[in-house]
Amino acid sequence: MKNILIIFGTRPEAIKMAPLVHAFQKQTAHFKTKVCVTAQHREMLDQVLGFFEITPEYDLDLMTPGQDLYGLTAAIITELKPVLEDFKPDYVFVHGDTTTTMASSIAGFYSGAKICHIEAGLRTHNKHSPFPEEINRQLTGRIADFHFAPTEASRDNLLKENIAPDTIIVTGNTVIDALLESVDKVKRKPSTLVNQLDTELKGADLLLVTGHRRENHGDGFIRICEALKTIALERPALQIIYPVHLNPKVLEPVNRILGNIKNIKLIAPLAYHDFIWMMDRAKIIITDSGGVQEEAPSLGKPVLVMRDTTERPEAIDAGTVILVGTNTEKIVQETFALLDNEDHFKDMSSKHNPYGDGAASRRIVDFMMHKQQERLVR
C-alpha cells in the first residue's frame, strides 16, 4: 500500500481535486489517502469542502490579512515539513498553477516523495501572464514525476520541454468530473439564494460576470466596468449578475461604476453550488477565470474571456470561448453579437467541450494502480 497526500489551498483547486480525492478514497486496498489544505483561501475553500463532504486530515490555515506571495510561499514550504514527516507520502498530488501548487511541489520534492501534477502542461509562454500562475505551473512541471495533462495540446507542450513521454497521460480535466457530479445535486436541492435569484430574474436573459485576476487590476477593471455599463444601459431587459471578488482592487471600481445601474446586480462571491446553478441559468458568461473556460462549454454556455492570453488555447480552437481582453469596445461588440445573432449563439453554445467527459479522475487512479502493478511485477 502506498501513501498519497493530496494538497490544495484555493477554491478552484478544491473543486478540481474533490472528485480525485473521492476516487482515491475508494481504493483502500491499494492506497492510503490523506488531504492537506493550506487554506490559501479560507472561507471560499471551506464552502467547497462542505459541499463535497471532504474533511482534511491536515489544515495549515495559512490565510492572513494582507498576505503577499513572499510570505505565503515561505509559509507553505515551512508548514508542510511536519506534515510530510508525519505521513511520509510516497506520492504528493498537486493541481494546476497556484502558489500552493508550486510551493507544495518543492516541499514534496524535498521530502523524497514523487510529485504528481494534475492539469499539467498548460502554457502561455509569457511569464507575466497570467501572473504568477504561468511560472508556478512551469516550475511545478520541472519538479513533477508524473504529469496528468487535460488535453493533447497540453501533452505536446510537455513533450516540447523534454518531459519523458511515459510520465505523461492525457486524462481530460477533473473540473468536468466535478461539474457533472454537481449539476444534478444542485438542481435537486436549490439553496435559498438560488430560489430568491430565480424569482427576481423572472425569466430574463442572464449575463453572468466574474473577474478578479491581478493583471486586470487598475485600468483593466475600469475598462471592464465601462463595458458592462454600456451593455446594461443599451439592453435594459438584460439582467447582469456579478459576484464581486472581495479584493479591494476589484470592489472599488466595480461598486463605483456599476453600483447604481438598475439591471446590474452586484452580489457577494457565491458558494460553489450556487455558482454552478448560476452558470447553468446564464445565457452568456464573461469571465477572466481559467476554470470557467473549461466548465461552461459542458453546459452549452458561450464564454467571453477578459484576458489577453490564455493557457487554454483548446477552447479557442474549439470555438467555445472568445478572447476579448479588457478592451471595452470588444467586450461590448462580442456580447451584442451573441445576443443579436441567433445562429452565432447556437453555433458557439453547441461546440464540443475539449476538456473532457467526466472520467479524468478514474483515468488518473487507473494509471497509478497500473504503476503499482508494474513495480510488483519487477
Determine which one of 97, 226, 294, 314 is catalytic.
Answer: 97
- Told to judge if 119 belongs to the known catalytic residues of this protein, a careful annotator would answer yes
Determine which one of 13, 119, 288, 295 is catalytic.
Answer: 119
- Told to judge if 215 belongs to the known catalytic residues of this protein, a careful annotator would answer no
- Told to judge if 288 belongs to the known catalytic residues of this protein, a careful annotator would answer no
- Told to judge if 214 belongs to the known catalytic residues of this protein, a careful annotator would answer yes
- Told to judge if 128 belongs to the known catalytic residues of this protein, a careful annotator would answer no
Determine which one of 42, 214, 235, 362 is catalytic.
Answer: 214
Determine which one of 30, 42, 235, 245 is catalytic.
Answer: 245
Task: Give the Cα separation of 101 and 7 in Å (integer).
Answer: 8
Instruction: Tell me if 77 sits within 8 A of 106, measured CB to CB.
Output: yes
HEC string of the chain equals: CEEEEEEECCHHHHHHHHHHHHHHHCCCCCEEEEEEECCCCCHHHHHHHHHCCCCCCEECCCCCCCCCHHHHHHHHHHHHHHHHHHHCCCEEEEECCCHHHHHHHHHHHHHCCEEEEECCCCCCCCCCCCCCHHHHHHHHHHHCCEEEECCHHHHHHHHHCCCCHHHEEECCCHHHHHHHHHHHHHHHCCCHHHHHHHHHHCCCCEEEEECCCHHHCCHHHHHHHHHHHHHHHHCCCCEEEEECCCCHHHHHHHHHHHCCCCCEEEECCCCHHHHHHHHHHCCEEEECCHHHHHHHHHHCCCEEECCCCCCCHHHHHHCCEEECCCCHHHHHHHHHHHHHCHHHHHHHHCCCCCCCCCCHHHHHHHHHHHHHHHHHHC
- Told to judge if 375 belongs to the known catalytic residues of this protein, a careful annotator would answer no
Q: How far is CA 331 from CA 2, 184, 285, 310, in A?
A: 50, 32, 11, 16
Instruction: Provide the annotated active-site residues.
Output: 97, 119, 133, 212, 214, 245
